[in-house]
Amino acid sequence: MQTRRHFIQGAVAMAAAGSSWTAALAQGFPAKPIRIICPYPPGATTDAISRLMATALQTTSGATVLVDNRGGAGGNIGTEAVARGDADGYTLLLGALGPLSANEALYPRLGFNPGRDFKPLALAAVVPLIMVAHPSFPAATPAEAVKLLRANPGKYAYASAGNGTPQHLAGELFKQVTATDFVHVPYRGSGPALNDAMGGQVQLLFEASPAVLQHIKSGRLKALAVTTRERIAGLPGVPTLKESGIDADIGGWYGFLAPAATPADRVAWLSEQMRRALADPLVQTRLADLGSQKVDSSPQAFARLIDAERARWGQLIRERGIRLD
């Protein structure tokens, strides 16, 4: 009886989704180009994933899909533009950890509410950070690093892309979980932070895998650990923090959302097209090349992730007294 009830409920849900999709098509949607607002500058992982989805969505749906980069204020400017924009299904957001989970605890006020102003469409990727060190750093494993840092409080430093960024939060989470003390040095972006880490001006860095893989392979940096629960294909010999006994899980995650008031039929159409796009083997290969792990791309899973991450990073920011300046 339980199985039959679940089957009936699933059939009803599928019929409702199909009805919404049909309604969207009947209204001639989409009748003009769809824009994905990427709230960060060109060239970053966020931009790469935005453009990958735009291309894949065009292929699966036949719609014209454009990417509009609107960086600034830690992702808040572009995110607010979508929250306050037309809720017609033609303006979408590339959502990320900062503006949707951490920024409400960092900024005195936001022009949007992460939990109320958006409708999740699809989670596209979770990209791990890699804990890397300059080759001169006298530790080769996370355990050795913890022992060294505990024995030398305040002696070593780690770089980040700026206060409140995922790279910064990763370092603070590591310090909290391991009871270590090392100095945070914020930079204006990942590029300068990476350059100084390779130059030895700072010893440690937590950075997205696409940015550091080539430098690890060239020997300019050494990888100590992957910060998510699973190892990545590009660095099969590098353990996770969890494997090393350190319960500090952080990955940069990226997904797509629409304004909350977007009609249900258009939300259903967009979600289904994104699901199909993300299921394409070529798209999966491209995401794997970025270091992404396989994820549940459903809108429900994405909504749960946003809620959980808001609670987790808000608590860390308050406990560690993290400030923007």
At 120, phi and psi to the nearest 5?
-60, 140
pLDDT at 164: 87
**Residue 15: predicted pLDDT:** 46
Q: What integer pLDDT is reported at residue 17 of this predicted model?
A: 47
What would the two tokens of residue 214 be?
């080539």
Output the pLDDT for position 4: 47
pLDDT at 25: 55
Q: Could you give the C-alpha distances from 82 to 54, 94, 259, 261, 270, in angstroms and in order?
A: 17, 10, 6, 11, 16
Q: Give Cα separations from 303 to 2, 48, 86, 296 (angstroms).
A: 26, 22, 21, 11
pTM: 0.86
**Per-position pLDDT tens, the chain of length 325:** 444 444 445 444 544 445 555 555 546 899 999 999 999 988 888 999 999 999 999 999 999 999 999 999 999 999 999 999 999 999 999 999 999 999 999 999 999 999 999 999 999 999 999 999 999 999 999 999 999 999 999 999 999 988 888 999 999 999 999 999 999 999 988 889 999 999 999 999 999 988 899 999 999 999 999 998 888 888 899 999 999 999 888 889 999 999 999 999 999 999 999 999 999 999 999 998 888 888 999 999 999 999 999 999 999 999 999 988 7
First CA to last CA distance, the chain: 59
